[in-house]
Structure 1
Amino acid sequence: MKLPPQTPSRAADDLVPLINVVFLLLIFFLLAGTLMPAPAAPVRYIEGAGEAAPQIPADAVYVDRAGVIYLKGGPASPEALTARLAEARGKAGPLPLVLDRALAMETVQPVLARLSEAGITRVEIVTLRGSAR
């Protein structure tokens, strides 16, 4: 008895378009998704009430728990801070300030005084929503 020739299975060919679509969706969500950037300093954010996740600019001023001031990813000298403040004075918006939640007010007051001396009149303290961790 002669059997008819078997045709190859097309199941593997049917998966290729599905894999392509899943891969393209993965790329789309990686590129289009908004991810919070890594902090420029070892700071635990203050939790606050808000409707949207904060958009922390890359040029924000960070103050860690020990009172060390960070600019653009590294500790800042008073001269660098003064230069950053002079640059921020020309901008229309407030200066973003990220404070560590364990920072004592006695440490924040000299920083705010330096901002005031440099002519900064508007400061925005960046916080996270209470539900974000």
Structure 2
Amino acid sequence: MKRYTKPIHLQQLTPQRRADSSLALINVVFLLLLFLLVSGTLRPPLPEDFAWAETTRSEGASSIRNGLVITRDGKAWVEGTQLDEAGLIAFLEQTAAESDRLTVQVHKHARMEAVAALAARARKSGVRALSLVTVEAGAP
């Protein structure tokens, strides 16, 4: 009986590489950095010398998104740009067409006459609910 032999080539086994945990940490840090960059650009800037008005009771809640800012001298700002009289009226009419609510961020030293005049203009434009955004007195 004749024997036939054929060589068999086996691949050489490579040792298993240990999983590197620093790659996951780099991914997490990158995602956190991306989140902070995006969240920092979403909020419209306030005027430079803006200081929040203070209140002693915390009732109600409102979103400052698409809100109006009243500065110390009674000027109106929206999304980082100052509005003139015609721009303010156009903004109030547009807001009233989209919703019957308006959020106003009030400067700490804003005169009440400016806030009352804004409320009267908003009412004429069709805004039914006005929320004044303040911070709690004594809060950091």
Aligned to 1:29: 32
Is 2:46 the partner of 1:40? Answer: yes
Q: Deviations over 1:46-80 (max 9, x none)?
A: 345559x97421x2111101111112211101111
Q: How many residues align?
A: 118
Q: Contact 1:54–1:127 at 8 Å: present in 2 too?
A: no
Q: Which blocks of at least 5 consecutive residues in structure 2 are unaligned? A: 1-17
| Aligned residue type for 1:91 | E
Q: Deviations over 1:17-74 (max 9, x none)?
A: 34322222223334289658353323212345559x97421x2111101111112211
CA 1:38–1:75: 2 relative to 1, 3 Å: closer
| Aligned residue type for 1:28 | L
Q: Secondary structure at the match of 1:65?
A: coil
| Aligned residue type for 2:47 | A
Equivalences for residues 95-106 of structure 1 within 5 A: 95-106=102-113
| Aligned residue type for 1:123 | L
CA 1:92–1:108: 2 relative to 1, 3 Å: closer
| Aligned residue type for 2:72 | R
Aligned to 1:87: 94
Equivalences for residues 71-82 of structure 1 within 5 A: 71-82=78-89
Q: Contact 1:67–1:108 at 8 Å: present in 2 too?
A: yes
CA 1:74–1:34: 2 relative to 1, 3 Å: closer
Aligned to 2:130: 123
Q: Report the TM-score when normalising by structure 2.
A: 0.65
| Aligned residue type for 1:67 | G
CA 1:38–1:77: 2 relative to 1, 3 Å: closer
**Aligned-residue identity in percent:** 19
Q: Which blocks of at least 5 consecutive residues in structure 1 are unaligned? A: 1-13
| Aligned residue type for 1:56 | I
Q: Report the TM-score when normalising by structure 1.
A: 0.67
Q: What CA distance in whole angstroms lies between the structure 2 residues aligned with 1:100 and 1:78? A: 19
